[in-house]
Each structure stands twice: as structure tokens, then as C-alpha cells.
Amino acid sequence: MKFPSRLMRSWIGAFGLMAGAFGQTYVQFSSGPTIFPTSINEKDEIAGWYSDPGAPPHSDSRGFVRDAGGRITTLDVPGSSNTQAASINDEGAITGTYIVPSGSEHGYVRDREGNFTTFDPPGSINTIPLSINAAGAVTGDYQDSNNVYHGFVRRADGTLIPFDAPGSIATQPLSINAKGAIAGSYQDAKGAWHGFVRRPWGEVVSFDVLGSTQTTPESINDPGTITGYYVAANGRFFGFVRDSQGKFTSFDLGFSTVPTSINDEGWITGTYQSVSEAHGFVRSPDGTITSFDPPFCSPSRSLTAPTSINNEGVITGRCSAAGSNAPVGWVRYP
């Protein structure tokens, strides 16, 4: 389907260019009362979604893509009541979820020219795409009529392949790399959550961080290194890195450490919590960790939440703005 009207938005609420700690540069942007930047590609293009106060109740989510120059384009799947963008690849293709007035969720891919292709795996009543790779393959999960969640891969040619982790009652893929390897988590019959990696040829390998009660991979890079978090017996969240050979390294910054993204060089970003505040961090391949908060974020309720890092080390995320505590998006340049 052809997107009928691109709403090019040059309004970027409270936009600014600011130098942060350690010489980093931060750009703030906003598109409404709530904004969720979710993914950044190698061209510094950012996808995500925001809440539009002018939309009808329960119909306020709109996708967006922000180019490297700061121009924002709103994304609305034709006929949808809500559109959310989850992931963008280097070609500018975006995947995500849209909701129709009846309330069901469906998947879409939008190319750089603005053309939408919608899809659902066979038997799906709700489809949630979460990641798109360089080749245009998409992964995510879908819900069947028995309320069971399964994983899927959608190839660039439109072929849909459902899959489940062995022994799973719920499979939730979260990230796909350029080779087609997928990382995610699954729930077993006892209710425990485990990590998995699905090889490009379809083999699914489960794994757990030793001593954990829950293992949740969040991101896989092209060399096959995975990052995510695990929950210890005492309830604390720790970050982990799992290399392509299956070796784990754990790390911790505070009460709760949640990595969200890893680039091909092995740099990781994410959030850690100290008592009531959340801060961003970057972890280098040698294990050095730097915490950060954009200078325009509230010092008392920073709630810094990085979501994605590209191979140049550029990071996007959101936080609460100083003064108003309103959610704002940001970009952090190294």
C-alpha cells in the first residue's frame, strides 16, 4: 500500500544541541507528551513512536522516523488507529505494529519511499514485529487463538516462518542480526524464562546465566554476541554478555542493570537503577563502563533510558526533561 500523505514535521519540541560530560554532544527532541525512540541505524536515522494529544482517546500512538538532520516524518499505517515503529535498518526500512479499530495488532514493513506492506503469520490474532536486519528480514512474536505466543521470521520476500523454542509455552524473539541469527527469551511449562538463540538454519539453542532465575537477551550483533539481563535469586537484575562461543560475562552498576543494545564492535548501552533514579550507561568491549545522563534531563528524576546504539557509537533513548519532567527523546554523539 502507498502511504497517502507523509506528514513532515519540522517541529521538534524543546530542540537543542548541548555538550555533555566527557565531551559528548546531546540533541534533544520531542513529538508529543510521550515519546519512545526505539532504534537507530548507521545513517543516524531514528525510528520510534509518540503520543499525539490531538488524536481520539485510545488512538494516539503514531510512528515516526527522524533523519540525521533532525527532520521528523510521522508514520501512520493506512486504516490503523495506532502505529508504533520498533526497528529501522540501514536501508531505512522500518518494522513495527499497528492496531486497527477493533483492537487487534498487526505487523508492517515500511520502505524508505513510504510504502507500507502489512502482514500476519498464519493463525495470528495479534502480531508484534520487533527487529529488522540489513537484508530486510523481520522477527517478533504473534499470539494464536489459544493465547499462545510463538516466534516468527519474515524473510524479505515475504515468506513467514513460525517457530518455537523447545519446551516453550511462549516464545518471544527480540533481535535479529545481518546473518539471520535471532536472540530472545521463552517461558517453559513451569513459568521460568530462559534465553535462546535461533541459528540462521533454524536450530534453536536455549541458555541460562548460571544461577539465574530468569535470563532475557535483548540484542544480538552481527558477530553473534548477545547482551541482555538476568535475575538473581535475590531479585536483582544484572547485565550479561554472551559471546558467539557461549561464554558469559556478567556486569553490574547498581540495584538493577538492564542492557538494551549492542553494536558490531561490542559496545553496549542500557539503563541502570540506583534507588529511585535510572541512568544510562555505555560499556566498552574491554569492560569499561561510563554512566551518563543528558544535561537537559531532570536531575531529580533523570529516568534516562537508552534504547539503541549504532556502530559509530551514536545512542538514542528518552528521559524526563528538567523542569517539566515531560518525556523527551535524545541522541548522544560520541
pLDDT, tens digit, 9 for 90 and up, residues 293-320 = 999 987 666 689 999 999 999 999 999 8
Task: For residues 74 and 94, give the distance between their C-alpha atoms in angstroms, rounded to a whole number.
Answer: 12
pLDDT score recorded for residue 24: 87
Asked if residue 2 has pLDDT above 60, the reply is: no
pLDDT score recorded for residue 70: 96
Residue of 216, 232, 155, 220 whose CA lies nearest to 181: 220
pLDDT score recorded for residue 276: 72
Q: Which of 48-62, 155-169, 171-185, 197-211 has the lowest mean pLDDT?
A: 48-62
Position 248 in a domain:
yes
Position 238 in a domain:
yes
The dihedral formed by the CA atoms of 161, 220, 179 and 107, expressed in degrees to the nearest 10: 40
Task: For residues 152 and 158, give the distance between their C-alpha atoms in angstroms, rounded to a whole number.
Answer: 12
Asked if residue 197 has pLDDT above 90, the reply is: yes
- Give the residues across from 228 on adjacent strands: 217, 240
Number of domains within the chain = 1
Place of cell 539503541: 308
Position 60 in a domain:
no
Instruction: Please report, for the domain that includes residue 268, its CATH number.
Output: 2.130.10.150
- Give the residues across from 8 on adjacent strands: 73
- The average pLDDT across 200-218 equals 97
Which of 47-56, 174-183, 273-282, 324-333 ranks highest by mean pLDDT? Answer: 174-183
Position 24 in a domain:
no
3-class DSSP assignment, residue 22: helix
Position 54 in a domain:
no
Asked if residue 23 has pLDDT above 80, the reply is: no
Instruction: Return phi, psi of residue 22, to 5°.
Output: 65, 20
First to last CA, the chain: 38
Could you tell me the pLDDT band of residue 5, with boundaries at 50, 70 and 90? very low
Q: Which three cell numbers stand for residue 19?
A: 555538550
Position 293 in a domain:
yes
**Domain residues for 248?**
212-334
Asked if residue 64 has pLDDT above 50, the reply is: yes
pLDDT score recorded for residue 13: 31
Position 287 in a domain:
yes
> Does residue 12 or residue 153 have the better pLDDT?
153
Give the model confidence (pLDDT) of 90-129 as tens digits.
999 999 999 998 999 999 999 999 999 999 999 999 999 9
pLDDT score recorded for residue 9: 27
Residue of 278, 147, 257, 137 whose CA lies nearest to 209: 257
pLDDT score recorded for residue 323: 75
Q: Which three cell numbers stand for residue 148?
A: 499462545
Position 249 in a domain:
yes
- The average pLDDT across 212-217 equals 97
Residue-wise DSSP of 43-77:
T--EEEEEE-TTSPTT--EEEEEE-TTS-EEEE--
Asked if residue 1 has pLDDT above 50, the reply is: no
Task: For residues 126 and 155, give the distance between their C-alpha atoms in angstroms, rounded to a whole number.
Answer: 19
Determine contact, residues 75/62, Cβ cutoff 8 Å.
Answer: yes
